[in-house]
Amino acid sequence: MKEGLVSIITSLYNSEAYIAQTIESVLAQTYTDWEMIITDDGSVDNSTSIVESYSAKDQRIRLLRLNANGGPGIARNNSISNANGQYIAFLDSDDLWYPDKLKTQLELMNRTGCGVVYSSYHTCDENNKINGSVICRSRIPYWRIICDNAIGFLTMMYDRKVTGLELLPEIRKRQDWGLNIKLIKKCRIAYGVKEPLACYRIRTGSVSREKFPLIKYNVAIYRQILGYSKPVSILMFTFVFLPFYFGKKLLNVIHNVFNKR
């Protein structure tokens, strides 16, 4: 582990239209002590060629490949397993960071001594048009993260000196929430930056776009990560997760409506 180094974990799958913009947003960071570890999850487009053109010019960018498509959790874990940094941050191959993202969050970590940080973020469409904001909470204690995943994964970063090196649970979806639960259980509280530091791209047909099929994975988090029985997991999802989830969505809608005036 190299102290001060940020390992940026990126899963890549058929993102030839966006991966160059994603890498450029990392190259534009005002904090420059980073490595970007991109694991290709079986892309069949030109994504890997684009990454190779960048890695040939900047040794901080590395491309790894999986033999078969396993989903973003497995791809991310492959990158984490090859990370050298003290800090682990996540950026998918179609999302963007703003230039001060790493600098701002590292300052928060140093100021608070916390092991997990995150931030607010914008949302945009496939043509880079910003269409909304997701405003984060200032802090998230452990009890709150088990109610609903209140952290945008493209903004999350953790300090392995505080939490140890943690991998995502290898389930097809919602593995980001599972990792957040594991990390905050160790450090008890995470801190957020209210300023949007990233942009999450909403794409047609993305893994996380359709919410209804995610229900079984939400229940799986309660069972596999928290160890609840199946009946308790279903009750937690129905009477805890859903109210918190829709409450969060409502507050976001209100915020975006008033900001457009």
pTM for the predicted model, two decimal places: 0.94
What token pair was written down for 143? Answer: 């009890």
Q: Does the pLDDT value for residue 119 go beyond 60?
A: yes
Q: How confident is the model at residue 133 (pLDDT cuts 50, 70, 90)?
A: very high
Domains and CATH numbers, the chain: 2-204 (3.90.550.10)
Confidence band for 211, pLDDT divided at 50, 70 and 90: low
Task: Place 86 in a pLDDT band, splitting at 50, 70 and 90.
Answer: very high
* DSSP characters over 3-42: EEEEEEEEEESS-TTTHHHHHHHHHT-S---EEEEEEE-S
172 pLDDT band (50/70/90 cuts)?
A: confident
Q: What is the DSSP letter of 174?
A: -
pLDDT score, position 261 = 52
With b for 16 or more beta-carbon neighbours within 10 A and e for fewer, the 79-97 pattern comes to bbeebebbbbbbbbbbbbb
In the chain, what percentage of residues exceed pLDDT 90? Answer: 87
Whether residue 260 is predicted with pLDDT greater than 90 in this model: the reply is no
Angle at 181 between CA 12 and CA 170, to 5 degrees: 40
- Cα–Cα dist 57/42, whole Å: 23
pLDDT bracket for residue 136 (50, 70, 90): very high
Mean pLDDT, residues 155-169: 97
- Determine contact, residues 83/35, Cβ cutoff 8 Å: yes
**In terms of residues, how long is the chain?**
261
